[in-house]
Structure 1
């Protein structure tokens, strides 16, 4: 458990990984990023974490400025509860804070009663997200269960991802987490058919054979600096 984590001055820091760093129930972990000009990979931003860049606390709907972005980050990993409004509404805000992200990885956390109001319209109302349109080349979504907000995100993303090269959607293990797998696969295929981008990209839809919630992150892989993407599903 951790209440506050701050990168104050770290001119040589290239990789920041906060794995399952959560505050006690009812509290939130504050993650502060100050001077880290070489920070390339950052994760896992989780539900309930409060992100602060320089002196700016990131909140939904805010206008980004040079003081509220980290332009050096190319690899970003988020953990999202797609059925929880307070979790989902932070995703556009987080993405706008890292405008040059090229590789985006999202872990979907289980939600007992997902909201049906967090659909594609919600994502469209969040406004343009620069990195989705012009930077993200690799995207992965793990432990996907077909929540309305998750489906809406995929519709929003694939309609706007102009430079996407590879996308991997990993469904949750249906043997451990009951959900309408065939229906979800059908929805994903329909989304892919409606893509407007002319860029040829490879999209894989797989099913996890791991435990509920996904396999634990590999610390050895994360510490290996020869691996340029510590959050890759490969």
Structure 2
């Protein structure tokens, strides 16, 4: 044990009666400091003689959240420059590129030299407003991602928000991502080819999140990836090419829909939300249509938990729903999001009196009949077409053990009479012996909470309320 360490231990023992915090081991004290804003952590270290060495002797944890606005431009570069050790975590929600370049030229290289493990760089939010057309090129050049960020071979987690990748940046031979396990890209300007290259060049990548990025054609190829969260708001074609270890594919922000193509996913267990209103599903080389029947070329047998969005009042969507279900014959847990049609349903669409008839016309669905053990209908509003679907499930799901109806629309939750009406009508639905519909009144969770659950593989069912 070094002399300086022995001195600190003796000093802490003497002060133990007066200062129990000071008697704690260095690792515990440093862990405590990491929960404080950087300004408070620095102040605490300055006030306590036993804490002063902690800031420099342990891996840096730097978060700009909570730093007062006047001090931020100077404090962040100074914290990076003054710390001699490794950087465990650098989280900059307000990454001011101009001030960083001015106060600390070469700061990206400092992240490399500091062997940073976790890095989040988000461009300032006040830059997100749509600029005049004449300033677009200037804006993009002002937020070019420094090349050294991708040369940080120690990174295990990287999150980038509102940056532009320079041409062929992700494919440079000297770019290193050998330890990267978690990658988040939000509002990133990058070519289709570079995105594919970036993902494929991360040999240990486990978790991927793509949200509102520029590519319209996304090809997902990874030998290590186990979880992918993909926002499809700008994607015209999303293809899972070769992901042998992928267990979970969570699709969200489906404003425009597009083609969803699934090729090699032998271990895919959780999939959703597929949207019957907008998605064109393709399994291998087969495009799934309303009359598609199950075959060896059109099924993904590994999927056990499936989530679908559908307007249950549109006969065409119900038929697509049945075709989608046939593609996943071994589903045991099924989530249905009852989605209203936008724009509103036209007069040519079937009215309530036709609902029972067109459910009778739906061809048999094997996964519903022989495998589904649990079903949840989300955003239930109590429309007649929804009740007809519940009756269809009750009649056909022979292995069903649990059926949950979730009322989450704020308008319905505020109406006790409407909730009672839904409960009363559900009681008349005849399930097989021992099964009945359970009603939950629950506000819909926000997107950030749902994405957090979806990224956690310890949570078995990310669609569960």
TM-score > 0.5, shorter chain as reference: yes
CA distance in 1 between counterparts of 2:388 and 2:436 reads 20
* Number of the residue aligned with 2:283: 53
1:190 matched to 2:428? The reply is: yes
* Number of the residue aligned with 1:37: 266
Change in 2 beyond 3 A, CA 1:156/1:202: closer
* Number of the residue aligned with 1:88: 318
Runs of 4+ in structure 1 over 3 Å off: 111-115, 175-183
CA distance in 2 between counterparts of 1:13 and 1:61 reads 29
CA distance in 1 between counterparts of 2:358 and 2:286 reads 24
Q: Is contact 1:137-1:163 (8 Å) kept?
A: yes
Q: Which runs of 5+ in 1 are unaligned?
A: none
Taking structure 2 as the reference length, the TM-score comes to 0.45
* Number of the residue aligned with 2:392: 156
CA distance in 2 between counterparts of 1:221 and 1:139 reads 19
Greater helix share, structure number: 2
Secondary structure in 2 matching 1:169: strand
Q: Which runs of 5+ in 2 are unaligned?
A: 1-232
1:9 matched to 2:242? The reply is: yes
User: Residue 252 of structure 2: which of 19, 24, 31 is its match?
Assistant: 19
Taking structure 1 as the reference length, the TM-score comes to 0.86
Secondary structure in 2 matching 1:133: helix
Once the two structures are superposed, residues 50-93 of structure 1 have per-residue CA deviations (whole angstroms, 9 ceiling, x without a partner) of 00000011011222211001110000001112223443331111
Secondary structure in 2 matching 1:66: coil
1:142 matched to 2:378? The reply is: yes
Secondary structure in 2 matching 1:39: coil
- Structure 1 stretch displaced more, 4-13 or 214-223: 214-223
CA distance in 1 between counterparts of 2:435 and 2:307 reads 21
Change in 2 beyond 3 A, CA 1:4/1:84: same
Q: Is contact 1:145-1:181 (8 Å) kept?
A: no
Give the superposed CA RMSD.
2.2
